[in-house]
A and B are shown apart, each in its own frame.
Chain A
Amino acid sequence: MDIQAIHPLVILFAAITTNNILLTNFLGMCSFLAVSKELESSVGLGVAVIFVSTLTAPLCWAVNTWVLVPYQLEYLQYIVFIMVVAAFVQIVEMIIERVSETLYLTLGIFLPLITVNCCILGCILFLVIRQYTFWQSIAYGFGAGTGWAIAIVALAGIKERMKKRSKVIPELEGPGISLIITGIIAMAFVGFSGITKIN
């Protein structure tokens, strides 16, 4: 099947469900485990990831298609993508800080955290490897970010409820129980497989 014929909306749906970047590729785990303690901050980080992945996906697609591929410099992808993402996040942070203080406090302070997040770089590398078109890239970036955000919000919600109701044995408290919960959510997401396929 020709990958470029897939409708962007299908890619969007698949990126959230069957190909969830966190639950099937386990990318972006460090901030996922660290920030999932509170629902509020996990929503903030989730929104920040959606924002950054949606905007850096077409940006890096453009850099790759128009600069790296024509000069056969694909081996520089990692370093160039990291630079582009870092610079982009910096600029966005400056703008947000200037424009809205509320937005800065809810979104801006998370931005530096995801500059070097592997789910962003992973998302960009996937879309380059799978040779998505421009619109597919935007859809994939948005989908991957949304999928990641859904996963962290789900985990934070579960953890907040567990804090009140369940007794976790001390040895498993913290990252241990988080990984087990993540595994169970990932298994639930396996239920989506077969609906659609994008790679």
Chain B
Amino acid sequence: MTEVFTSVFILTSISLVLVLLLLIAEYFFANYGECTIDINKGERVLKVQGGNSLLRTLSETKLFLPSGCGGRGSCGTCKCKVVSGVGQVLPTEIPYLNPTELKENVRLACQVKVKQNVQIEVPEELLSVKEFETVIEKYVPLTHDIRGLRFKLPEGETVKFKAGQFVNLVSEPYGDVTESTSRAYSISSAPSDNKALELIIRLVPNGIVTTYVFEHLKEGAKAKLIGPYGEFFLRDSDREIICIAGGSGLAPIRSIVLDMIDRGISNRKCTFFFGAVNVRDVYYVDEFKALEAKHPWFKFVPALSGKEEGHGFERGLITDVVARHYGTLDNHEAYLCGSPGMIGACVKVLTGKGLPENRVFYDKFS
């Protein structure tokens, strides 16, 4: 019996000594003290503890570079330009960097270690990407399968985004779903309303996050949002705007229209075509009708493709309604949001009427 105890004791002591040595070594050698990370030439300066990878250090300060593999150096998405403060390119980075990137000091943030003061450059939008611990302030059924949610940001926090961008909503584990996961939803509120974010979420049968939203979220519940992201936003020009949306695709368009009002853009005509099947599928009609009455440049055209009659909306597929509305599209810009099928069909109609494809912007659900 004593033999067993001695062996267990000796083995444990050896492990303990080794762990202790490792900790001491880490304290003396892997401890790089406080370093600063200068982002975009002084736009933001972070004081951080050195010794970890740039990606991890940044995410600890809530600056999220895109990362697919979680820092294992196997996806190459956490690229960022490092102006100074790190050594030469590591063999583990080379496979992911092309010659131009190598020349411009682009590095993989997950492989680069912060050991001294570092200067980096990241795209402007990423600086406003944050994680928000929000509370659901409003939870409204908009139709039988669409909910409107308003997420209140923590006291004192604000969000900066471009109308049309999206955020990721993080779902917690529930039922058989054991992992937390996230999905992207367009923001439907105006950028000026920066103390909260509104999303419009349509139930996807068996969808992990939408099921979570429909069955586990209610007013007062906590929810985590990460964002904003996305390249779908109003371009600066003086062209006439055509917006087309179906289902919950109304969200970014609503944000864009509200933003135009806030910014006083009244020299551009804007027509919003909203496609649905039946009367029970349309929502926010009163709000958009009110905007239409108040702002002469804005026009709201809901259209139903179902067999119902007597609703007073336009009838037919949204593509047909749009086609009926316009002749040649020579000075227009189109913003589309909806299912891939709807977008494909709309792009065809618009380009068929002479609209160059580079003036059609869309946000496809996928």
Q: Name A's B-contacting residues (CB within 8 A).
A: 63, 67-68, 71-73, 76, 79-80, 83-84, 87, 90-91, 94-95, 97-98, 101, 105, 109
Contact = CB atoms under 8 A, between A and B. Distances in A.
A109 B6 contact: no
Nearest to A41: B91
Contact of B21 (A73, A80, A87): A87
Given A87-B18, A97-B30, 18 more contacts: A63-B14, A67-B14, A71-B7, A71-B10, A73-B7, A76-B7, A76-B10, A76-B11, A83-B18, A87-B19, A90-B25, A91-B21, A94-B26, A95-B29, A97-B29, A101-B88, A105-B91, A109-B90
Nearest to B31: A98
Closest 6 CB pairs of A and B: A87-B18, A94-B29, A91-B25, A98-B29, A101-B87, A94-B30
Contacts of B21: 87, 91
Given A98-B30, A105-B88, A83 B15 contact: yes
B14 A91 contact: no
Contacts of A68: 10
Contacts, number: 53
Q: At the interface, is chain A mostly helix, strand, loop or mixed? A: helix
A84 B22 CA distance: 11
23 contacts: A68-B10, A71-B6, A71-B10, A73-B11, A76-B7, A79-B11, A80-B14, A83-B18, A84-B14, A87-B18, A87-B19, A87-B21, A90-B22, A90-B25, A91-B21, A94-B25, A95-B25, A97-B30, A101-B88, A105-B88, A109-B90, A109-B91, A109-B92
Interface string B101-113: 0000000000001
Contacts of B91: 105, 109
Contacts of A79: 11
Contacts of B88: 101, 105
A175 B18 CA distance: 37
A84 B10 CA distance: 13
Interface in B1-53: 3, 6-7, 10-11, 14-15, 18-19, 21-22, 25-26, 29-30
